[in-house]
Chains A and B, each alone.
Chain A
Amino acid sequence: MNKLNVMLLGAGSLVLAAGFPVVAQAGTVKIAYIDALSGPFAATGQAGARELRHAISKFLEGKEVAGEKLEVEFLALDGKINPKESLVQLQNAISQGAEYIFHNSGSSVAHAIVGALEKHNKRNPDNRALYLNYGAIDPSLTGSKCSFWHFMIDANVDMKVNAMVDAIAAKPEIKKAYIIGQDYSFGKAFSAAAKRYLAQRRPDIEIVGDQLHPIGKVKDFAPYAQKILRSQADVVLTGNWGADMINLAKSIKDIGTQASIYTIYAYGAGISGVVGESGLGKLSVVAQGHINPANTPEWALYKDEFLAKHPGNDLINERTVYGVQMLGEAFVKAGGTDPLKVALALEGLEITTVSGDKVMMRAKDHQMQMPLQVMAHVKDGIKYDFDQSGYGVRTTSTVAFESNQLDSVCEMQRPL
Chain B
Amino acid sequence: MSHLTRICRAESVVRKKRLRILWLCFAVILLALPLVTSNFGITILTQICVASVFALAYNMLLGQGGMLSFGHAVYFGLGGYASIHLMELVGNGVPVPLVLTPLFGGLFGLIAAFLIGSFSTRRAGTVFAMISFGIAELVAASAIILVSFFGGEEGVSSDRTMGPAFFGYEMIPQIEVYYFAAVWFFLATYAMYHFSRSPAGRLANAVRDNAERTQFIGYNPQKIRLVSFVASGFFAGVAGGIFAIQYEIVTDSNLNTAASGLVMLQAYIGGIGYFVGPVIGAIVMTLLNTVVSGVTDLWLLYTGLLFIGTVLLAPNGLTGLIMMHTDAYHNRKLATLIKPYLLGMLPLTAAFIGVVSLLEMFSHRNEAAVGDDSMLLFYIDVDISTWFPWVGFTLLSLLGLAGLRVVIPVVRASWDAANEMQILSNSTINNESDS
**When A and B assemble into the complex, do they touch directly, with CB atoms less than 8 Å apart?**
yes
CA distance A183 to B152 in the complex (A): 9
Contacts of B294 in A (CB 8 A): 75, 77
Cβ of B328 to closest chain A Cβ, rounded Å: 12
B253, A124: Cβ atoms under 8 Å?
no
Contact of A4 with B by CB under 8 A: yes
Are A19 and B157 in touch, CB under 8 angstroms?
no
Q: Can you list 18 A-B contacts (CB < 8 A)?
A: A2-B432, A4-B19, A6-B319, A14-B33, A14-B45, A14-B48, A17-B48, A83-B253, A84-B249, A87-B249, A92-B43, A95-B39, A96-B40, A116-B247, A184-B144, A184-B152, A214-B144, A310-B370
B369 touches A309 (CB 8 A): yes
Name the residue on B nearest A182 (C-beta): B153
Nearest neighbor of A217 in chain B, beta-carbon distance: B141
| A108 & B155 in contact (Cβ 8 Å cutoff) | yes
Interface of A: prevailing SS:
helix
For chain B, the bracket of interface size reads 35 or more
Name the residue among B157, B173, B284, B319 with the largest chain A CB count within 10 angstroms: B157
User: What is the CA–CA distance of A18 and B18 in the complex, to the nearest angstrom?
Assistant: 26
Contact residues, B285-308 vs A (CB, 8 A): 286-287, 290-291, 293-294, 297, 300
Evaluate whether A17 and B283 lie within 8 angstroms (CB atoms) in the complex, with A1-B15, A311-B370 already known. yes
Residues of A within 8 A of B144 (CB): 183-184, 214
**A185-B153, A309-B370 in contact; A10/B33 too (CB < 8 A)?**
no
Task: Give the interface size bracket for A toward B.
Answer: 35 or more
- Asked if B428 is at the interface (CB within 8 A of a chain A CB), the reply is no
Q: Chain A's nearest CB lies how many Å from the CB of B141?
A: 8
Are B297 and A20 in contact, CB atoms less than 8 angstroms apart? no
Give Cα distance in the complex from A183 to B147, angstroms.
12
Known: A84-B155, A92-B290, A112-B249. A13 touches B283 (CB 8 A): yes
- Which 6 pairs across A and B sit closest by C-beta, in order of nearness? A18-B37, A184-B153, A309-B369, A95-B39, A108-B154, A22-B40
- Beyond the given A108-B251, A185-B154, A308-B370, could you list 18 further A-B residue pairs with CB under 8 A, ordered by the A residue number? A1-B432, A5-B326, A13-B283, A15-B29, A15-B36, A18-B42, A22-B41, A80-B253, A84-B250, A88-B47, A91-B247, A108-B155, A112-B154, A112-B249, A123-B172, A123-B173, A185-B153, A214-B141
CB < 8 Å A-B pair total: 177
Within 8 A of A (CB), among B13-41: 15, 18-19, 22, 25-26, 29-30, 33-34, 36-41
Question: Is B276 positioned at the interface, with any CB of A under 8 Å from its CB?
Answer: yes
- Given the known A-B contacts A11-B25, A14-B283, are A78 and B293 also in contact in the complex, defined by CB atoms under 8 Å? yes
Interface string of A91-118 (1 = CB under 8 A from B): 1100111000000000110011001100
Task: Contacts A17-B45, A84-B251 given; indicate if A8 touches B22 (C-beta within 8 A).
Answer: yes
